[in-house]
Structure 1
Amino acid sequence: MKITDILTLYDKILIVFVIILSLVLLLIPFYFFGGSAEGEELILRVQQGDELIKTVAVADSYQEPIIFKVQGPIGVHTIEVNQGRVRVKEAPADDPLKICEKTGWIDREGPIIVCVPNSLSLWLESTNSDIDGMSW
């Protein structure tokens, strides 16, 4: 017996409707909360352990990249800010996996670059965000 013999036309319509509704509900948070709005200024926050050690304005209009170093327990991180994006350009040699370096560029609120061995966290915040946070 085939599945098409069991399902009626209305069953098939209901299945398609449930799938479409599920996809729409899945994509709504990304549409409303998925990134910064046009013209919104982003701020880079650099935290080491429990202490916020650096705050840098991130703008698309910078002519030259901003590169600075952060000293930690296992070595020095080189951080680059360029064209509204941020990355860890170089992780310390003693960092075994260098996940923070492999994370690559972040250019919106949400993603976080973390180096656990060096207790370093980098993230972008909006200067005029109405939402304090979002949990899933």
Structure 2
Amino acid sequence: MKNNKTLTIVAIALVVIVLIGVVAIVLKMQMDKPAKSLEPTIDDVLEASVDVEEITTNLSDKKFVRLTLKIQTTSKDAAEELGKRDFQTKNIVIKELSELSSKNLEGKDGKLKFESAIKTQLNELMRDGEITEVSITSCIIS
């Protein structure tokens, strides 16, 4: 009888140890899986983006610039709002460019500063979401 009781306790202990091992292995496998990316797909990006048609305007040094932009927002609703604010967007871009010389727009740093300034000013207008990125898609200075 005592032998039977000991055998039952040993069997239960083995089952518990095996279950703990299985749970540990499953948890380890779950932790090793790469987390699903929260980055939007390219289709999501395009759906939440607005193209600004070509703008030609004078720079402060009497040269002129011709450029187009793609502006990425946080959502489709934000993109719709930005589309309705097209005239305000163009106004902000033209005013910002009128303060710059061709030297200010040269190189990567100049373009990044311009994009950042446009993003900041547009975000002040937005009510449904915000601007996440402004990209110059075409730029000719002459």
- Tell which has more relative contact order, 1 or 2 (C-alpha 8 A, sep 6+): 2
TM-score, normalization by structure 2 = 0.28
Which structure shows the bigger proportion of residues in strand conformation? 1
Which structure shows the bigger proportion of residues in helix conformation? 2
Q: Which has the larger radius of gyration?
A: 2
TM-score, normalization by structure 1 = 0.29
